[in-house]
Amino acid sequence: MAVTLDRLPIGSIPGSIAAMRILLLAAAALLAAMPAQADDGTPTSPEMVKEFSGKWQVQDAEAARTCDVVLDGESAIGGYAIDVAADCAKAFPVMDEIAAWRLYENGEIVFADFTRKERLRFFTPDDSYVSVEEVDGIVRLIPASQ
């Protein structure tokens, strides 16, 4: 006759099995309580990064405030090197903190600060990149040629 753990009260299970069951329940509770991580995909290949490297522009909704950046294909702490124009912080203060960029296989572009923390995330619902969350009025990232 087989005995299953789910039918026995914890008090009747031998000590080591009871402890294991409690640990498993605690682990499951911790996992359930953790906040869901954003699906940032998988970092993309260096070849794809090269295709995205070049001059881009960060814009507000009306393109009245802009910031020129150069996405570089060289590795940097937190992703790849980025050159942010000196006057960008006047238009968008957060840009003064940007130190790297990342490209994910799902097509998202992320700007990160000096501590590798994500500050801006852009996704592409069509031909342009749109900010997932508006920060300092930033809503769009477009190639400089557009």
Q: pLDDT (tens digit, 9 = 90+) per residue, 49-102?
A: 999 999 999 999 999 999 999 999 999 999 999 999 999 999 999 999 999 999
Buried b (16+ CB within 10 A) or exposed e, 100-126: bbbbbeeebbbbbbeeeeebbbbeeee
pLDDT tier for residue 29 given thresholds of 50, 70 and 90: very low
Classify residue 118: in a domain, yes or no.
yes
Token pair in block for residue 55: 């001059």
Residue 30 shares a structural domain with residue 61: no
Statement: residue 32 has pLDDT above 50: no
Give the H or E element holding residue 130.
strand 129-135
Residue 66 shares a structural domain with residue 123: yes
Residue 92 shares a structural domain with residue 114: yes
Residue 65 shares a structural domain with residue 112: yes
The model's pTM is 0.70
Residue 68 shares a structural domain with residue 115: yes
* Residue-range definition of the domain harbouring residue 16: 1-34
Residue 133 shares a structural domain with residue 72: yes
Counted domains in the chain = 2
Q: What is the pLDDT of residue 54?
A: 96
Compare 103 and 33 and report the one with higher pLDDT. Answer: 103
Q: CA dist 21 to 5, 6, 27, Å?
A: 9, 10, 10
Answer yes or no: are the C-beta atoms of 57 and 67 closer than 8 Å.
Answer: yes
Classify residue 3: in a domain, yes or no.
yes
Residue 58 shares a structural domain with residue 120: yes
Closest CA to 71 of 106, 104, 109, 107: 109
